[in-house]
Amino acid sequence: MLHALIEKLSDYPRFFLFCRGLLESNFRVIRQAIEEHLGPNPDRKVLDVACGPGAFSDLFSPGSYTGIDLNPKYIRYATKNYNGQFCVQDARALDFPEGAFDDVLVYGLLHHLNDEDVTSVLRGMQRVLRPGGRALVIEDIPTESRLNLVGHLLHWAENGHHIRPADDYRKLLMPHFRFEDEQLFRSGVCDYYMARLIPHENGSTNESSGS
């Protein structure tokens, strides 16, 4: 019942942003990581996959930023409150031309999806990135410190049913991307795995490296 209530409340963009901002010190660490790895550059076209209410769109040049999310309420809120292009779209079936983007950001989506759906998202990202483009993936991992009680409670309460250890994300990413950088870090009460990636060329996959 608590899970259902949290899911319902999260549907309200302001509530979602307020709670996450509180738990993650206003996203200071996440914003720093995104800026450092994908910094604003008007010449680079960016796709934010599962952009939510668009809270990170201001880190990019408005003319070069596109955010997609499955939740129409979030997209309506983002369109009203931020600059950039926003549209309702399923990340498992990205509807953009091949090589349309220089950079792709995924923050906090994959831990909601099973392995098969994650693979669909990653194939799509690989396809819409131009050769030599970059992807930045930031995903929840199990809470590390036993003393981080709020972090444990949050993972128990929220609807991320596929929170994985870093190595499991790595295995899913490997067939589609080569790794430029990897980090583990804490943002407020949340522990994260971050990877900066380059797609394998010509949409090829390296399936054996993922097993």
Ligand X SMILES: C[S@@+](CC[C@H](N)C(=O)[O-])C[C@H]1O[C@@H](n2cnc3c(N)ncnc32)[C@H](O)[C@@H]1O
Q: Residue 28 or residue 178: which is nearer to ligand X going by CB? A: 28
Collapsing DSSP to helix, strand or coil, 102 comes out as strand
Chosen residue from 23, 70, 87, 163 binding ligand X by CB under 6 A: 70
Is 141 within 8 Å of 166 (Cβ atoms)?
A: yes
187 touches ligand X (CB under 6 A)? no
Shortest CB 112 distance to ligand X, Å: 5
Q: Residue 90 or residue 168: which is nearer to ligand X going by CB? A: 90
Local structure of residue 56 (DSSP, 8 states): T
User: What is the per-residue binding string for ligand X in 106-125, x denoting contact by CB under 6 A?
Assistant: -xxx--x-------------
76-115 per-residue burial string, b: 16 or more CB within 10 A, e: under 16: ebbbebbebebeebebeebeeeeebbbbbbbbbbbbbbee
Ramachandran angles phi, psi of 95, nearest 5°: -110, 65
Tokens in use for 115?
Answer: 């392995």
Shortest CB 81 distance to ligand X, Å: 13
Residues 24-53 that bind ligand X (CB under 6 A): 50-52
Interaction site with ligand X (CB under 6 A) = 50-52, 55, 69-71, 74, 90-92, 107-109, 112
